[in-house]
Structure 1
Amino acid sequence: MNRYPWPGLGAFFIQLRVNNRRLLPLLHDASQPSTPICCLSRPESCSRRVPQPSVYDWAAGATTAYPIHSSCNATERALLSRGLGEAVALAAHAKDHILRFGNSSEFYSKYFGASPTAEVVGWYDKIMSADRTGIWFRCDDVDGNCSQDGWAGHWRGENGTQETVICPLSYTTRQPLEGLCGYGYSVAGGALNFYFGSDLVHRLYHLPKIGEGIVEHYADTYGECLELALRNPALAARNSHTLQYFALDVYAFDIAVPGEGCTGRPSEPGDPDTTARTTPSATTTAATECHTHADGTEHCS
C-alpha cells in the first residue's frame, strides 16, 4: 500500500534526499575543514586527514661543522677536530674583542690602523659561521707534497679549490691553544703556526669559501704587518698574517693570561732559545714549513 496520498510522491521524496546529499558539501562553510559524508553517518569508520602546511627552512642543506675526510684516521681526526675548534675560538674572541672595544682598542689600531672594523669582524665571522659545504680537510698525501721536507700541509689549489691536506708534520709539531703564552712563546717573536688553531686560521683563509680570494699575503713578519697597518690599513684588514697576529694577541691578553698576555718583541738573530729541549721551539718551529698559494706559488714561513 502506498504511504503517500498522491501517486509518485514517494519517488519525489527519495529524489529530494539524493539531491540534498549532493548539495550538502556545496553548502558547507568553505572556511572550515570539510567532513566527508561517511563521517556524518558513521564517524567510527572515518579517519580525518588534516593537511600539514609546508615549512620553509632557510638553513636546510647547510654544513655547520668543518668536514674531515675519511682518509684521516681516528687520531688525526681527533687532533684536527680540536685544532679546528681552536681556530673558531680564536676567531670568535677576536670578533668579540672588536665588537666590545671597536677601533679604540690598542690592539686593533696596532694591527689594522684606521681601517673600519666591519670588514675585519666579517673575516672572523666567516671562520665562525660560513657554510662549510664542499670544504674538506684531508690526511692523505693526494698531491705528493707531504713527502717533501718541511711540508706540514697545503691548500690543493686547482686540484681541489675547497680542499686542504694536513700532513703528518702538523700532528707532531702543533701545540694546543691552552698552551698559549707557554713554551717560551710570544706573539711578536713566535711562529704563527706554532699553535694548531692559529695555523688552521691561516689555512682556512686560503679556501675560497672563507677567504674569497681576498684574504691573502700582503705582509708576512710581525714588523711588516705593523708597517702595513700604517701604510695601507685597507690591505691590513685583508692580510692573512695580520688576522692571525691580532687573534693570537687579544686571546693571549684577554683569555690566556688576562691583563698581561704575551706580546713580547720580534725575535732577532742570536736570541737564545727559551723553550725546553723536549718542546719544539716557539720561535723556530716550522720556519721552513711550506704551502701553496692561490696563484700556485710556494710560500715558506
Structure 2
Amino acid sequence: MSTDEPIHDHERAEWLVDHGRVDEAVALARARVADEPYLGNLAWLADMLADNGRFDEAVAEWRRAIAGGVVGARGGLAALLARAGRIDEATAAFRAAVAEDEPSAQADLARHLARTGHAEEAEGIHRALVSAGDHAVVPDLVKLLAETGRRDDAVAVSRSVRHAGDVPLYPVGRVFEEHGLPDEAIGIYRAALAAGGTYLYGRLARLLYQQGRLDETIQVLRDATDDLDQRADAWRALGRLLVIEGRDEEFEAEAKRCAAVEDGFFLMHFAGGASRGRRHLAGTCGCARTPD
C-alpha cells in the first residue's frame, strides 16, 4: 500500500475506484459485508458494482442477502431496480418487501408508485399509513395531492395533522411554497416554530417579506433574536431589513435593545446587517431584496 492510500474502508474503496482498481474496491467491500452483513454495507457494495457497470452482480448481492434473511434487502433490491429504470421488476420487489413487512416498505412502495404514474394506489397507501398514525409520510401525501392538482385536498390533509407533534412540517411547507400556497406555508412554518423548529425563523421571515407582510417579518426576526441558535443571524437580518425599508425609529430602538444584550456582543452582527442594507440601497451589494 502506498503512503497516499486511505486506510478506512469506504475512503480506500473510493480511492481504489478513482485509480481504476475496481476489482480491489469490490473485494474490500465484499469482505466488509462478510464481516458485517448490515443493510448499509450491502447498499455500499451493490451501488459500487452498479456504478461500475456490474449491475447483474449488484442484483445478485441483494438476492443473496434476501436468501440470507437480511431485513430490508428486498427494499434495497427494489430501489436498485428502480434507479435502473426496470420499473416492473422494481414494483414487484417493493410489493415483496411489503408482503414480508419490511421496515418502511409500504411508504417506499407508495413513493415508487407515485413516481411511476400510479397516483391513485399511492394515495391510498399513504392515507392508510396516516390514518394508522404514521405521520412521516404526510409530506409525501401532500406533495402527491398538490402535484395532481388537488391543492384543496393537500391543504385539508395538512391542517388535519399539523399539530400532531410528529409531522415533518418543513417539507410540507416547501410543497405549499412550490405550488403557490404561501399562506398555507406560513401557517405550517409558524406551527413548526411553536413546536421548537427554530431553524425556520429565517425561512418564515423570508416568505412573509416576499408576501409584503413587513411588520410580521420584523416581528419574526425580533423573536429570533431571543433564540440562542438563531440570534446572530437574526440580528444581522433585522439590521439589514430596517435599513432597506427606511424604518429609522425602529432601527434606533433595536440598536439600543441589541446593545443591552450580553454587553453589546451582537452589535457587530446588527451593524454588519445595516451596512449590507446600505450597500443594497446604493446598488453595490449584488444581493436579493430579502430579509436575510
Same fold at TM > 0.5: no
Name the structure with the higher helix share. 2
Q: Shorter-chain-normalised TM-score: which range?
A: under 0.3
Please, what TM-score do these two structures have when normalized by structure 2?
0.21
> Which structure has the greater CA radius of gyration?
1
Larger RCO, structures 1/2 (Cα 8 Å, 6+ apart): 1
Please, what TM-score do these two structures have when normalized by structure 1?
0.21
